[in-house]
Structure 1
Amino acid sequence: MSSPEFPDPWNPLRGYTQARIGLQRNGYASSTADLLRFQADHAAARDAVHTPLDVDALTVGLRGLGLGEPAVVAGRAASRAEYLRRPDLGRLPADLGALTPPDGGADVGIVVADGLSATAVSTHAVALTAAIVDALTPDLQVAAPVVATGARVALGDHIGEVLGVQTLLVIIGERPGLSVADSLGIYLTHLPRPGRRDSERNCISNVHPPDGLGYVQAARIVRALVDGARRLGASGVALKDTSDRTALDPMPGDTEGGDTAS
């Protein structure tokens, strides 16, 4: 226990992370306060995974961005429980009949998917999408957004192919942890089509202001990656994440192949 004479040495570090560090102990057990916080965070993570996405509210918010009427599609899982047991069903569309290729085509498509945290999507997706649209337009044409439920990232490949967009962004709820239950990821795939490998995508993760990546910062990275993908003609391991340099510049210490953006 800390005291004025013996301050807790972990306190300065707790300001830099949401992780559980330097937990107090009562004998061999955690303190009651730490145990209660753990149980509350565990419940929030479970809720984030199991709570269904409020599609109507999300659609209203996305409609307000002025990109056109959002379409709604779903993966093949018949229930949330099946979606969690069968990730493969989330990668395949049940029906894409609601999709209409934009008149005159579009450079970029945006899919907002529930993924493993509907909480993250409900909290951040509309504001993040707005920031991304601001970063991309008016230089690039952005298609009307698509809302996807029971979705994994690869469902976007089918959507992007139908829309005929050059680059697809999938904004999706990330797997919740015991410190963060409302984090979004953004997956970028250039020339989307079914069968794309994960190595052909770039990921911007941990979007959940104020403690994670902010909307404007994430949108700036998206713009750099979209521009780089259009010049390179591909996304994935060959494309580097930099919002301060050209997205094709090598990063210090890079070797051939490299990593996806994170």
Structure 2
Amino acid sequence: MNRMRNDSQPMVVGDPWEDLKRFTDARIAIGRCGSSLPLKESLSFKLDHARARDAVLQPFQRAELARQFTDAGIKCLEVESSVIERGEYLTRPDKGRRLSSRSRALIENEEKGCHISLVVSDGLSSRAIHETAISFVRTFMKTVESAGLTVAPVCLVENGRVAIADEIGSLLGSRLSIILIGERPGLSSPNSMGIYLTWNPRPGTTDESRNCISNVRHGGLSVQEGVRKLAYLVEEAFRLQLSGVLLKDKMAAGYLPFGRAIPLELSD
């Protein structure tokens, strides 16, 4: 039987798992009010749902991101997939995996043969890219360039899917492609950025040939740790000349990328 206040309104009944909430942002131990959620939790769910929708639908600030990269001394190209508008992006994933004809022509004019092609795309959360990409790329570039690796101009892709990095890497003749992309929002993480790495990128490459680092965001994997993990995978990919399920993550706790301390996280 539910306990009742004097005014006959049901009280919020707590949950014995309450102490576990400090370990996760997931919705656990939210209690109940009669047979329903407490009003606070119901409103919180609606707010987080709205934030997740906004992350998917928020326009990609590609020009502003390009300005930030240029100001940081990083050359970039503004390109797009074959998607015409955002609704099509959500219903036609195949079009998000291919470049538009304009973008393909633009990339074909670039110098070929860099070690790494680096792609940044809004994916399913432009918010994730707006918040994290510039700091991550600046830190990563300083890390790999200190090891003598060359990086092609960063391709800023609007409405891109993960596999679009295969086409870009192939056009640039790079040995390794990396894409930073907004991940599908969760109700506690609308700003999560994912990173995918593919050796010998070619159109038609399938997902078992990739390595993934997920949940790079404030409150998740930090930029500095994300760069350290990516640098490890890059170093191993070049050593073994492969990626995907054959490239295992055996990074030691004290690993230093290319034998050097990682730069402190760079902010705007």
Does TM, normalized by the shorter one, top 0.5? yes
Q: Does 1:173 align with 2:182?
A: yes
* 2:65/2:130 contact within 8 Å kept: yes
Q: Does 1:54 align with 2:92?
A: no
Residues in 1 aligned to 2:244 and 2:106: alpha-carbon distance in whole angstroms? 29
1:66 is matched with which residue?
A: 73
Indicate the percent of aligned positions where both proteins have the same amino acid: 39
Give the one of 177, 196, 203 matched to 1:194.
203
Residues in 2 aligned to 1:34 and 1:180: alpha-carbon distance in whole angstroms? 17
1:164-222 CA distances to partner (integer Å, 9 max, x unpaired)? 1111110000000111100000000111110111000000001002x100111111111
1:121-142 CA distances to partner (integer Å, 9 max, x unpaired)? 1111111111211221222111
Structure 1 unmatched ranges of 5 or more: 248-262
Paired residue type of 1:229: A
2:246 is matched with which residue?
A: 238
* 2:191/2:217 contact within 8 Å kept: yes
Structure ranking higher in helix proportion? 2
1:43 is matched with which residue?
A: 50
Residues in 1 aligned to 2:250 and 2:206: alpha-carbon distance in whole angstroms? 22
Give the one of 127, 130, 133 matched to 1:119.
127
Residues in 1 aligned to 2:253 and 2:26: alpha-carbon distance in whole angstroms? 31
Give 1:243 shift.
3.1
Give 1:7 shift.
8.4
Structure 2 unmatched ranges of 5 or more: 4-12, 256-268
**TM-score, normalising length: structure 2:** 0.85
Give 1:101 shift.
6.2
Give 1:76 shift.
1.3
2:174 is paired with a residue of what secondary structure?
coil
* 2:68/2:134 contact within 8 Å kept: yes
Count the aligned residue pairs.
Answer: 241
Larger Rg: 2
2:194 is matched with which residue?
A: 185
Residues in 1 aligned to 2:42 and 2:193: alpha-carbon distance in whole angstroms? 27
CA RMSD of superposed structures (Å): 2.1
